[in-house]
Amino acid sequence: MSSFKFALLCCISVCGIETVNSELKTLAEDDGPVSWSALRRLRLIQSRLSRGFSRVTEQLRPELISTISYGTLAQVITIFQLIGAAQQDEHIFIWSTILYLVPALVSTLVPCWSCQRVLDASEGTRAALLTVEPQDAPADRQLAALLAATQRDLETFGDLGFFRLQLSAILGTTSTVLTYIIIMVQFQMSENGCGDSGGHQGNTTDAA
């Protein structure tokens, strides 16, 4: 449930950030430099969006950490069950295990993908700010403050302490899990091979 609550938060935040981006693009396309008042208004909107997103993310941190940890552990267990079922040709158990794998994937994929959308929208804000020409020194200070706030958001959004919610986190976790699974499968296969060779040698000795 926490994954979908966080996804809703991300959707609201993306809508707000995209609105700021649209206004920045409109200001950049207009003839002449941008005024101080226009940049200050956008900076206040961006600041409220940033504080709101960070505050709610902080409140959801324990739930998100436990949900993603559970999803990752469930994926590992499910994959081992799939390997065991495939070795024993239990097709019915394979399909039931795959159905169990779906919620585990959702619990990890939804928060990371949702937060990645927020980061992409913030990157759009940073790119739009680089095309804005300030009107005077006060406008330039507002532009610098807005650019610094956007850069801070790009560095901190989705940070849960133990890991950060973004698509690269999914790729890193998946690669680590698959690496350990491959190692354990190879270890199991080597043990089975040693057991088979030992049994074959014992049968040869008895026959002799």
Q: Express each pLDDT in 1-12 by its tens digit.
A: 788 889 999 999
Cα of 91 vs its chain's centroid, Å? 32
Quick check: is 35 in a domain? yes
Quick check: is 96 in a domain? no
What's the Cα-to-Cα distance from 108 to each of 65, 70, 158, 169, rounded to whole Å?
Answer: 10, 9, 13, 10
Q: Give the mean model confidence (pLDDT) for residues 61-67.
A: 89
Quick check: is 190 in a domain? yes
Quick check: is 89 in a domain? no
Looking at residue 30, its pLDDT comes to 78
Strand partners, 206: none
Q: Express each pLDDT in 78-101 by its tens digit.
A: 777 777 766 676 665 666 666 777
Q: Letter for the amino acid at 126?
A: R
With a cut of 80, say whether residue 42 has pLDDT above it: yes
User: Cα separation of 65 and 203, whole Å?
Assistant: 53
User: Cα separation of 202 and 208, whole Å?
Assistant: 10
Whether the Cβ atoms of residue 106 and residue 4 lie closer than 8 Å to each other: no
Q: Residues in the chain, how many?
A: 208
Quick check: is 52 in a domain? yes
Range of the structural domain that residue 178 is part of: 2-68+109-194
**3 state DSSP class of 160:** coil
- Of 24, 11, 10, give the one whose Cα is nearest residue 126: 24
Quick check: is 73 in a domain? no
Looking at residue 72, its pLDDT comes to 80
Place of tokens 């552990």: 73
Quick check: is 206 in a domain? no
> What are the tokens at 66?
């436990």
Q: Express each pLDDT in 148-178 by its tens digit.
A: 999 999 999 988 887 888 888 777 777 777 7
Q: Express each pLDDT in 94-138 by its tens digit.
A: 666 667 777 777 888 889 899 999 999 999 999 998 888 887 888
Quick check: is 10 in a domain? yes
Tell me how many domains the chain contains: 1
With a cut of 50, say whether residue 207 has pLDDT above it: no
**pTM for the whole structure:** 0.77
